[in-house]
Amino acid sequence: MQISVEQQRFCGREFTAEEVEMIREVVGACGGISWNELAHTVCELLDWKRPGGGLKTRECRDFLTLLEGKGILRLPEKRNAGKTGPRKSKEKAPCQAPYSVLTGRVDDFTPLDVDCVRTREQRDIFKHLLAQYHYLGYAMPFGARIQYLVYVSRPRREVVGCVQFSSAAWRMKARDRWIGWDDKRREAALQHVVNNSRFLVLASIRNLASAMLAASLRRLKSDWPLQYGVEPLLVETLVDREKFYGGCYRSANWIDLGETSGRGRMDRANKRQGASVKTILVYPLAKNAVYRLRNGE
């Protein structure tokens, strides 16, 4: 029995019921091609592109996986060996043993080397470290993303941190009120907001967190436009208020906007109100960032 389709919202775009039905028909008719080819085809049919003209193939793959998780369609079996939905990896409990034994002042180890995760080996290292040492573990984020491994080069080259940036939350009351945009403007400009969705420090080096944050933001300002054709204007992060204060963000002049409702970015039915309240911190990457987000160029 087929599930009747309804309109869907994903990565800031509203897909009509007719478009979702078309996607289902395309997937059903193109069972012999790879997921990338399938996502490429859907993007071309829907004219789903980045501002620079490139197709949103990565986001489309995630959207197809989400639709499969909802039972709306079935992706080709040969490409569907794993689970649907976000691919998560987490140890039963965060490892208490330190990953690195390095100690001292960050000045003894700078400059830091911020390396964009590109190879299979780097991806495996990044996933393993987050799964073992981050309290949230590792989960493949939907939509756009850039991941960094942070290294020191002395006394030897060694990983001391992981940083992940991904698509911003669709709606957060405190952030949206601070920017002052309406729903229409948010839909148009949200792609210029980036979420710092993972931040992991692996060595007890004084001021390492602040140095990692500053170095990764410098890379983000150039890497995000190269990869996605969009200038990042604002970075946001959510800090679990029961576990952390967010000292490295605050010392770097990130702005405290208040707290989330606790629903989570995927809770559209409003069933988890207050379940996990987090502090919203933001950092403008341009002096006129808020004006441009609210009013455009």
Domain layout of the chain by residue ranges = 8-79, 93-295
Query: What distances in angstroms separate CA 18 from CA 22, 63, 96, 208, one per listed residue?
Result: 6, 16, 51, 51
Domain 93-295 classification at class level: alpha beta
pLDDT value for 83? 46
The neighbouring-strand residues paired with 146 are: 165
pLDDT value for 82? 43
Residue 236 pLDDT > 90, yes or no? yes
> What is the C-alpha separation between 101 and 149, in angstroms, rounded?
17
Query: Looking at this protein, which amino acid is placed at residue 108?
Result: D
pLDDT value for 61? 86
> What is the C-alpha separation between 111 and 88, in angstroms, rounded?
32
**What tens digit of pLDDT does each residue of 237-289 get?**
999 988 888 999 999 999 999 999 775 554 444 554 445 789 999 999 999 99
> What is the C-alpha separation between 288 and 297, in angstroms, rounded?
10
Query: What distances in angstroms separate CA 205 from CA 2, 98, 130, 248, one per listed residue?
Result: 56, 12, 19, 13
Residue 219 pLDDT > 90, yes or no? yes
**Mean pLDDT computed over every residue of the chain:** 85
Percent of the chain topping pLDDT 70: 86
Mutual orientation of helices 35-46 and 17-29 as an angle, nearest 10°? 140
Overall average pLDDT of the 172-196 stretch? 94
pTM: 0.73
Cβ neighbours of 13 (radius 10 Å): 14
Question: Is beta strand 158-167 parallel, antiparallel or unpaired with respect to 145-152?
Answer: antiparallel
pLDDT value for 140? 78
- Size of the chain in residues: 297
Residue 144 pLDDT > 50, yes or no? yes
Which of 25-34, 37-46, 175-184, 259-268 tops mean pLDDT?
A: 175-184
Would you place residue 84 in the very low, low, confident or very high pLDDT band (cuts 50, 70, 90)? Answer: very low
Residue 30, SS3 per DSSP: coil
Lowest mean pLDDT among 19-28, 128-137, 158-167: 19-28
pLDDT value for 264? 57
Local structure of residue 134 (DSSP, 8 states): S
Look-up of token digits 């949230």: 136
